[in-house]
C-alpha cells in the first residue's frame, strides 16, 4: 500500500461532500484507519488513498470480467 496519495486523488477527495466523505472513510481499510487514529495521516490523505485503492480494485475487476466474457464468447456455440 502506498504511503502518500497522488495529487489527483487528493483533489478528488477535496471535492467530496460531507456525506460522501463519511461513507468513504467508513469503507477505509483498517491500516488506513489506524494511521488516521495515530495522527500519522490526515482524513483527506486517508480519503484520497481509499479512492485510489477503490479505483485500482475496480479496474482489476473490469479486466477480469472482460477476460471472462471473452472466454464465454469463445465457448458459446454459434446459433444459426
Q: Is residue 2 part of a domain?
A: no
Q: Is residue 39 part of a domain?
A: yes
In a domain, 54, yes or no: yes
Residue at 43 is within a domain: yes
Task: Say if 80 falls within a structural domain.
Answer: no
pLDDT category at 80 given cuts 50, 70, 90 is: low
Q: How many independent structural domains does the chain possess?
A: 1
Phi, psi (5° rounding) for residue 2? -70, 150
Of 42, 14, 49, the residue nearest 28 (C-alpha): 49
Tens of pLDDT along 24-61?
999 988 888 888 888 888 999 999 999 999 999 999 99
What global pTM score does this model have? 0.78
CB distance 53 to 29 below 8 Å: yes
| Torsion sign (Cα): 42, 45, 51, 57 | negative
4 HSE (CA, 13 A, CB side): 2
Considering only residues 54 and 3, tell me which one the structure prediction assigns the higher pLDDT.
54
Read off the pLDDT of each residue in 5-29 and give the average, rounded to a whole number: 93
CA distance 58 to 52: 10
33 lies in which domain range?
Answer: 7-75
Amino acid at each position: 500500500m502506498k504511503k502518500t496519495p497522488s495529487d489527483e486523488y487528493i483533489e478528488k477527495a477535496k471535492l467530496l461532500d460531507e456525506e460522501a466523505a463519511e461513507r468513504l472513510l467508513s469503507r477505509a481499510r483498517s491500516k488506513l484507519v489506524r494511521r488516521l487514529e495515530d495522527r500519522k495521516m490526515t482524513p483527506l490523505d486517508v480519503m484520497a488513498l481509499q479512492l485510489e485503492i477503490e479505483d485500482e480494485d475496480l479496474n482489476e475487476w473490469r479486466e477480469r470480467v472482460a477476460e471472462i466474457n471473452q472466454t464465454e464468447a469463445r465457448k458459446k456455440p454459434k446459433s444459426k
